[in-house]
Amino acid sequence: MAKYWNEEMECMEPDKMRALQSERLVKQVRHVWDNVPYYRKKMEEKGITPDDIKGIEDLHKLPFLSKADLRDAYPTGLLAKPLSECVRIHSTSGTTGKRVVAYYTQHDIDLWNDCTARAITAAGGTKDDVVQVCYGYGLFTGGAGLDGGSHTIGCLTLPMSSGNTERQIQFMEDLGSTIICCTPSYAAYIGETLKKMGKSPDDLKLKAGIFGAEPWTEEMRQEIQNSLGIKAYDIYGLTEISGPGVAFECECQEGMHINEDNFIAEIINPETGEPLPDGTKGELVFTSITKEAFPMLRYRTRDICVLTRGKCKCGRTLVKMAKPMGRSDDMLIIRGVNVFPSQIESVLLKMCNASPNYQIIVGRENNNDTFEIRVELTDDMWTDTIKSIEELEKKIAVDMHTVLGIKAKIRLVEPNSIPRSEGKAVRVIDTRKLV
């Protein structure tokens, strides 16, 4: 059984990898300078040109990119290839109304598929496996990303998307799925449903699961491994940098290997932007050195993380990232969907004609995220009939669903009933304890 999908890249000597990264970085900076006026202006503002970037040691000279830049440059301002050469987009929520749109050429898709093929192989997958992909298909990168890797290896691929859990289990049983790919919370839910259906892991052929897109704990890993009778692997990625497969876990289950031949990882101090040494906790920053259509130079992920170098027991030399330990912004991941409080605020502002006092309450029941938004009635909204309050709650819920992409329970509460804090308003109460 093949242990690696791309042994040359996954086990490359660190010095050779650094040389490869340097060569690709220099080329990428030139490509961006020539084709992306938005980033060229940022470089000019910093007083640098591509000639200043001679290798990876000069990376720190480049300006950062952030979600705010993506919003400013929306929808095509960061595109580095003509649209006619792009074959796909994916998208995710942005900090305010605007979504992030990422573009791919066929070459970008092929490289991405290679990354997810590495992840599936590291989880023990070969062409003889049956891979059930229960990440969402569509604009979200989860479904397409793992689907692409599975096809690349030649596995039989079940493009299920998420939901309809009993049918998922029926397919697993009937078609003998051996690998499942979904969010960890959905995996836990499938485990529970299996039990409720009076079945056990012995009724299935599952051996591994590839879970990511949201934070999860070691305790959850144990729970999923037991309830589904599998080994559970973590996978990390973000739409801006391609999608799942930026980093993946190997059999050692001690952090995720970053596909360094495609992405240069740095850790920075989120306050000052100063690069920090390996082993230090800070914000993860990626530079994509092989992407053609939507290359990101020093993109700030806002994920707080630690990098560790050294040869892994699995034989891979790729640098490892720890599970993300939180965010340096206020983004929440609820049922696998990225949610920013500013999006919620913009809906309320539109509905209420004033900035209302609100609180977001996120919890977890039976491995499912609960999501409630409490909104204080303002004088404008004030009404004393239960019926009109319920109608308003419904209206807000529909708008919220449209903007966020997931359902929230809306509860209108009496004026002045949400506790005021002395400093910053406490907008979010998250009791899930995931990191």
Which parts of this chain interact with ligand DLL (CB under 6 A)? 92, 135, 141-142, 145, 212-215, 234-239, 243-244, 301, 303, 323-324, 333, 338
Query: Smallest distance, Å, CB 92 to ligand DLL?
Result: 4
- β-bridge mates for residue 234, sequence order: 211
Q: 153 or 381: whose CB is closer to ligand DLL?
A: 153
CB nearer to ligand DLL: pick between 129 and 234: 234
Q: Which two tokens stand for residue 233?
A: 């692997």
| Cβ 333 to ligand DLL shortest distance, Å | 6
> Which one, 217 or 346, has the nearer CB to ligand DLL?
217
The nearer residue to ligand DLL, 142 or 341, going by C-beta atoms, is 142
CB of 208 to ligand DLL, least distance (A): 15
- Give the other-Cβ count within 10 Å of 346's Cβ: 15
User: Is residue 222 exposed (0-12), middle (13-18) or buried (19+ Cβ within 10 Å)?
Assistant: exposed
Instruction: Give the nearest distance from C-beta 162 to ligand DLL in angstroms.
Output: 11
Residues 412 and 182: their CA atoms lie apart, in Å, by: 34
Question: Residue 177, class by beta-carbon neighbours within 10 Å (0-12 exposed, 13-18 middle, 19+ buried)?
Answer: buried
Q: Which is nearer to ligand DLL, 132 or 141 (CB)?
A: 141
Tokens of 124: 């023990």
Smallest distance from the beta carbon of 44 to ligand DLL, in angstroms? Answer: 29
User: Please, what is the minimum distance in Å from the beta carbon of residue 226 to ligand DLL?
Assistant: 20
Q: Which is nearer to ligand DLL, 20 or 322 (CB)?
A: 322
Q: Which is nearer to ligand DLL, 141 or 157 (CB)?
A: 141
Structure tokens at 261: 């031949």
**In angstroms, what is the minimal distance from the CB of 40 to ligand DLL?**
26
We find the least distance from the C-beta atom of residue 69 to ligand DLL, in angstroms, to be 15
Q: How far apart (Å, rounded) are the C-alpha atoms in residues 179 and 157?
A: 10
Q: Which residue, 5 or 186, is less far from ligand DLL as judged by CB?
A: 186
Report which residue type is found at 80: A
| DSSP H or E stretch at residue 220 | helix 218-228
Min CB(16)–ligand DLL separation in Å: 28
* Beta strands in 10-137, from DSSP E residues, in sequence order: 86-93, 99-105, 130-133
Instruction: State the Cα–Cα distance between residues 299 and 22, nearest whole angstrom.
Output: 17
Q: Backbone phi, then psi, for 104, in 5-degree steps?
A: -135, 135
Point out the residue whose Cβ comes nearest to ligand DLL: 212
Residue among 25, 107, 4 nearest 318 (CA): 4
C-beta of 22 vs 161, nearer to ligand DLL: 161
Q: Given strand 231-238, what is the order of strands in its sheet?
A: 156-159, 130-133, 179-182, 208-212, 231-238, 243-249, 256-258, 320-321, 307-308
Q: How many whole angstroms separate alpha carbon 244 and alpha carbon 123?
A: 14
Smallest separation, CB 382 to ligand DLL (Å) = 38
| Residue with Cβ nearer ligand DLL (143 or 356) | 143
Q: Which helix (H) or strand (E) holds 303?
A: strand 299-305
At 146, the amino acid letter reads L
Nearest-approach distance from CB 292 to ligand DLL, in angstroms:
19
Based on CB atoms, which residue is closest to ligand DLL, 22 or 116? 116
Q: What is the DSSP letter of 145?
A: H
Query: What is the separation of C-alpha 221 from the centre of its chain, rounded to a whole number of angstroms?
Result: 18
* Gap between the Cα atoms of 179 and 130, Å rounded: 6
Q: Rounded to an integer, what distance in angstroms lies between the CA atom of residue 239 and that of residue 140?
A: 8
Whole-number Å distance between alpha carbons of 389 and 368:
27
